[in-house]
Every structure is written in C-alpha cells, then in structure tokens.
Amino acid sequence: MAVKKTTGKTTKTVKKIDLTKYTDFIVEETTKLLNIDSPTGYTEEAAAWVKKEFEKLGFKATLTNKGGVIVDLTGKDKKNGLLLEAHTDTLGGMVATIKGNGRLQLTNLGGMNPNNAETENVRVVTKFDGVYEGTFQLNNASIHVNGDYDDTKRSWETCEVVLDEDVKSKEDTEKLGISVGDIVCFEPNVRVTKSGYIKSRFLDDKLSVGILLGLAKYIKDKKVTPKRALYAHITVYEEVGHGGCGSVPEGCTEAISVDMGCVGEGLTCTEKQVSICAKDSGGPYSFEIVKALTKAAVDSGADYAVDIYPHYGSDVEATLRSGNDLRHGLIGAGVYASHGYERSHRDGAENTLRLLVQYAL
C-alpha cells in the first residue's frame, strides 16, 4: 500500500510493509500480560512472563537485581547501542489500615486515583495466606442509605475495600492473614472490540511491552540484524519514578522510552497514531532524536503526531537523572483516559511498531 507523507516541505510516496501479523501478535501478547497483576512492587510474575516470552523468540533475556528484564535484541555496532525502555509495573494499592469494621483503607501505588477506581473489583495479595477478593467502594456506599453519597469527595480516606468474606471486625480480617503492606490489585477489565479498540486498565505501559515483543518477533521472522546494538529494558518501578535508573547495557549512546502517547484536549494524537513527544514535565527530549523519529515515521508511512505532554514523566528521564550520558526520546501508541480505564487501538500499536522497524533496524 502506497501513501503520501509530508514532513517540512517534502512530500514523498511510501510503500508500507504489511505488519498485520505482528499487530495481531502484539494484541494477543498484550492481552495476556494485562491479565497478570503487577502493581509497582509486585511484579515478579509479570517480569518472569516477559522474560520467558522474549526467550521463546530466541533472544537472551536476564533479570536485573531490581526485578526488571534486559533483552539483547542483537545488532552490529556495539559502541553505538540503542536502548528501548518500556515498563510492566502498573498502578495499584496497598493495605494501609484494617478498619474496625474489617474493611481496608488503602494507600495508592503510583498514580492510582480513587475517583476512577470506585466500584472496581480487587484482589488482596497477602504476604503468606493467599489472595482474597473484594470491591473498592465509597464508605457507606448504599445510595438509599447515604444522603451524602453525591457530595462526598472520593479519596483514599473516604473509600475502602469491602472484602468478599464474612468479616465484621478488624480481628476477623486479621484472622484471614491480611495485614498492613499487603498488595491490592485492581481488575484490568481487558476488552478488544471488533473495530480494533483495546480497552483496559494498565495499557500504560503493557501495550508497549507487547509492541516490543512484536518488534522482537519481526527481527526473528525476517532474520534481521539491527545496524546497531539493540536492547530492551522492561522496567518495574516506572510508576514511582525510578524504573529506568541503572541497568544500561555497555555501549549504549541513546535511549528511547516506548510508553503511552497522550490523547486529550489540546493535543493532536489519537488512539490510532504513534505519538512522538517533544517535551513533557521533565523538559525537552533531544531535538536530534525527535527529528530522527519524525523522519522515520514519514519514511515508514506511520501515522504519527508530535505533541507536548503537560503532566508526564518517563523511564528515560530517570535513566538520564541517574547519570547516564545518552541522547533520549519518547514514543508510544496513543492512549486515552490515562491512569483510568484506558483505550487505544490496534492501529496505534501498528504505527508504533512501524516507526520502530524503520528507526531501530
């Protein structure tokens, strides 16, 4: 399929490669990963799954001491390596207090917001006594009883986990083995529509992990050797700001976060596009890299947008702040309703993969 693309004053006709097979794979892998609970601090199962999936594709993958996964995607120039970063940790909660009525008051993990978490099903992962189900509800959640229901500000103090167990006191809950510091996982509610939309909590950033798996499969199937050493780092503490600190393979000169692209008022990106971020709350990304990524999008026929994100930070900024001397950039499939019940589209995933194939290979 040939398309016309314009950058600056140049218009060119591009023949797009067919990536349907790899987009299908991305959606399948993303769906599997979304259904593995992995709030920040509780990522061991998800990281093990990610490691195994890269290994099944024939690539060497190792766990970092922190719990992330480093993948060697091969490549020629070992002194000019490119590191792609995505994260598999998500938002979630932690038991802060067991209340006198046996219900749980939470503290958030990452930017979980009680306003859009209300009425969600949860799993409470205890340290030693298994997993219990419950629901995150407003305190006194019955509308026919609570006259202040509409006016109550939702917060971690005004909401609670109602356990699906016969508990009526703090002592009843403690007998189950539930204690302060236990992890609370919110149901992702994954759904892929016939029209190609992908809806779920925690597309940020498990969709990008799926995209990097798609890139790995493309490298394997096409027997491509990247022109420069290529690595992936699947981090596990991005949502609290230090996921990308450390674990940069020797010889890397550039790092790119593959994270969600912002969709919302004042921005141009849609869920069907790949977003290239020029600046976020941490400052500008490398202008050289933004230009190169934009050119790669044009050359590959990827549908893209360049935007500035007002309230955003990325793994690659943590990588720079930890003292690494790297050029940096940020791309991602467009995601709407970030940190809530998020929505993207298979076209956004495909356009992100298309840009990466052009840029990294």
pLDDT of residue 2: 54
Catalytic residue ranges: 238
| Residue 247 contacts residue 66 (beta carbons within 8 Å) | yes
Residue 157's alpha-carbon distances to 98, 108, 121, 125, 247, in angstroms, are: 12, 11, 18, 21, 37
d(CA 29, CA 18): 19
Give me the average pLDDT of each 10-residue run along the chain (361 residues): 53 84 98 98 98 98 98 97 98 98 98 96 98 98 96 97 98 98 98 98 98 98 97 97 95 98 97 98 97 98 97 96 97 97 98 98 97
Handedness of CA 83, 22, 209, 347 (dihedral sign): positive
Nearest to 86 by CA among 219, 254, 204: 204
pLDDT of residue 9: 44
d(CA 71, CA 27): 20
d(CA 128, CA 174): 12
User: DSSP letters along 25-83, please?
Assistant: HHHHHHHHHHTS--BTT--HHHHHHHHHHHHHTT-EEEE-TTS-EEEE---SEEEEEEE
d(CA 103, CA 4): 59
Phi/psi at 208 (5° precision)? -70, -35
Distance of CA 79 to the CA centre of its chain: 29
Question: What type of residue is 149?
Answer: Y
Two structure tokens written together for 282: 């941490």
Residues in a beta bridge with 4 = 13
CB-count burial class (<10 Å; 0-12, 13-18, 19+) for 76: exposed
d(CA 93, CA 106): 6
d(CA 232, CA 249): 10
d(CA 298, CA 12): 8
| Residue 258 contacts residue 352 (beta carbons within 8 Å) | yes
pLDDT of residue 334: 98
